[in-house]
Structure 1
Amino acid sequence: MPQSSSRGWQRPSIYDVARRAGVSHMTVSRVMNGHPNIRESTRARVLQAIEEMNYTPSSIARALATRRARRIGVLIDGPVQNGPNNTLRALEKAAREVGYAVSAFSIGDDDASQLDTGVMELVTQGVDALCVIAPRESSLDLLRQQTTGLPTIVIKAEADPSWHTVGVDQREGARLAVRHLIGLGHRTIAHLAGPMDWLDARERAEGWRECLAEAGLSEGPYIVGDWTSDFGFGVAQSHDLGETTAIFAANDQIALGVVHGLHKRGIRVPDDISVVGFDDLSDARHFLPPLTTVRQDFADLGELALQQIIAAIEGETDPTHDMIQPRLVVRESTAAVSA
């Protein structure tokens, strides 16, 4: 146990561990650095002393014993976006709770080729597995060319024979949004889509199309842009929306821009046009009006991803796919179509 004195709690030193194990402090250092020329009985005695005295976190001691780093390398595509950022934070939290650390490498929105550099950097850190968050098609094409020998999991909505995958059902989330609008009597529903290189953007657009087709409705205006509020604002300010009575935005930032742009034109939300977003940002309930949106449970996604990563590290080699269902959150930005 940690030492105590008149000065209060004291963290044990390498010398305390050495005394407990009956070895020199240099031997303790060699054990901690994985030196091969250490008798197993000595190594076991040092590791036991490390555990008993809490000299280092128990996860590190276990890593020394198992020859694993207990570290997961994460490639995060578009780190400034809400979904990728929240997924990374959720994965980090879930990993900490089971004694794993996370090393992240961010790939800029305009340079998927950074993936090569990211993979090399993470592999040289000795990670046990790789995880790719919010991939674009271009980054996945590059990832397929990599041969790291490490278990790899990709956060994406569709199964992929190349990797373990886990994701939120993006297509169903879009269908929830569009079904809600159809149920309110809307018949001309526009979609402001994210960049089509992003797999999530593609899935949301397909869900919009499928739901309209099932209801026997024609597609409303379809405009592809980026993930920003400026995109939504620009469309709402400058485009002729014709008979559109509802807009499904590919994320909440776009929806925020749409509401602002419509307001500047004197078009009321939801009296004249209803608006639905996607993600359920923490501030979405404070938009004016509060935003109807589709919620992704990033905490559950992080835990599920970690479960798959650990299973892969422990030898589960056949690719698996797990899906989390999104949920529609109805607020005040949608209403029955006006007569």
Structure 2
Amino acid sequence: MAHVAARAGVSGQTVSRVVNASPRVDPATRARVEAAMAELGYRPHRAARALRTGRTQTLGLVVSTLASVGNSRMLQAVADAAALRGYALTVVTLGADADVATAFERLAEQGVDGAIVLNEATERVREADLPAAGLRLVVVDAPQDDRFGPMPSSSPVPPFSPVPPFSPVPPFSPVPPFSIVETDHAAGARSAVEHLLALGHQTVHHLAGPAGSFAAAERERGWRETLAEAGAAAPPLVRGDWTSASGFAAASALLDGGATAVFAANDQMALGLLRAVAESGRAVPGDVSVVGFDDVADAADYRPPLTTVRQDFDTLGGRAVAVLVEGIEAGATVAFETVPTHLVVRGSTAPAPSPGR
């Protein structure tokens, strides 16, 4: 760093500010320092920085499984956002029977500065003792139960008042001991159901995600509430496990129930449903309209191209990392943010078939 400062004609403190992306450096000076760094082959030494700052510039990620498309997309988004901020990433997968407390212990042993907990794993945070003081958490798609009181629903909302990290939380406190960043799943489901009802379908069947999933529960809630507000009866739901195979297996119950419109809780299950409808001799969207959720990269290439609710994984992962890093570097604040969804209309939905067709 001293060599860089000498080459650029600045102080060591200025070099430090450039390395740490401080805004307190004018653009011309920053460019001169970065040029000197490039000429000298300078790279920050992570271990030395950890000794000096007490931080390892490493984040943890806790996830139940990486087999699902949503979780793998979130891993990519979090890894990209962490790298942009100069942080490394350590991943712990829980598996079917793993204890989230054990995952926190493993991350603490590796000296991570904070952790992000994804999707299905967030339910286990409620069941576990909170991690040791100093390990800040951001949970993605966390259930908001009565233990923590009602949470605001607007998107986005200002951070809550600062609280010490992981201090005891009395019953019905409005502030949980960790930050929450979530997709507005219920609003996404609403847009899907409203789209199908507007096409003249009398009701909308639901191919739901697995029990115990916060995202699946919120999408189911949006489906039920929208049908109720429209005065439409809610058919018995059929549940899958996020895989296309489960969507294929669930199709017979939906088709036997007379479904002309189905909202599937994710695109993989919708893909299995499309195959099953075709094999039954029916057509999508002529006989059955299908809407998915996520807008995976291949959704536009399904046959027919899938109408779906786009979940912004890049923004969701980016905001989770931003909230966590800002807490680590600027002090402990507890925040709640919601990332909106967007309905993408393609070729898998059409007006309801005429009676008797």
Q: Which amino acid aligns with 2:138?
A: I
Shift of 1:240: 4.9
Specify the SS of the correspondent of 1:257.
helix
Residue by residue over 1:179-213, the C-alpha shift from the partner in whole angstroms, topping out at 9 and shown as x without a partner, is 11111111121101111211001000000001101
Compared CA separation, residues 153 and 265, structure 1 to 2 (3 A) = same
Q: Which amino acid aligns with 1:189?
A: V
Q: Is the Cα contact below 8 Å between 1:184 and 1:335 reproduced in 2? A: yes
Instruction: Give the TM-score normalised by the residue count of structure 1.
Output: 0.79
User: Which residue does 2:110 correspond to in 1?
Assistant: 125
Q: Which amino acid aligns with 1:151?
A: R
User: Which residue does 2:87 correspond to in 1?
Assistant: 100
Q: Is the Cα contact below 8 Å between 2:114 and 2:324 reproduced in 1? A: yes
Q: Is the Cα contact below 8 Å between 2:46 and 2:56 reproduced in 1? A: no
Shift of 1:227: 0.9
Identity among equivalent positions (%) equals 42
Confirm or deny that 1:214 pairs with 2:229.
yes
User: Which residue does 2:141 correspond to in 1?
Assistant: 156
Specify the SS of the correspondent of 1:208.
helix
Q: Distance in 2 between matches of 1:234 and 1:291?
A: 19
Q: Say which of 247, 250, 262 aligns to 1:232.
A: 247
Q: Distance in 2 between matches of 1:140 and 1:194?
A: 20
Q: Is the Cα contact below 8 Å between 2:188 and 2:309 reproduced in 1? A: yes
- Aligned positions of 1:66-215 closer than 5 A: 66-108=53-95, 110-111=96-97, 113-136=98-121, 138-156=123-141, 159=151, 161-215=176-230
Q: Is the Cα contact below 8 Å between 1:136 and 1:199 reproduced in 2? A: no
Q: Distance in 1 between matches of 2:122 and 2:100?
A: 12
Shift of 1:310: 1.2
Shift of 1:63: 4.0
- Aligned positions of 1:231-310 closer than 5 A: 231-237=246-252, 240-310=255-325
State how many pairs are aligned. Answer: 293
Q: Which amino acid aligns with 1:227?
A: W
Q: Which amino acid aligns with 2:176?
A: P
Instruction: Give the TM-score normalised by the residue count of structure 2.
Output: 0.76
Q: Where does structure 2 lack aligned partners over 5 or more consecutive residues?
A: 8-35, 145-150, 152-174
Give the greater-gyration-radius structure (CA): 1
Q: Which amino acid aligns with 1:285?
A: A
Shift of 1:234: 1.0
Specify the SS of the correspondent of 1:69.
coil
Q: Is the Cα contact below 8 Å between 1:236 and 1:261 reproduced in 2? A: yes
Q: Where does structure 1 lack aligned partners over 5 or more consecutive residues?
A: 2-15, 21-48
Q: Distance in 2 between matches of 1:177 and 1:295?
A: 11
Q: Is the Cα contact below 8 Å between 1:73 and 1:104 reproduced in 2? A: yes
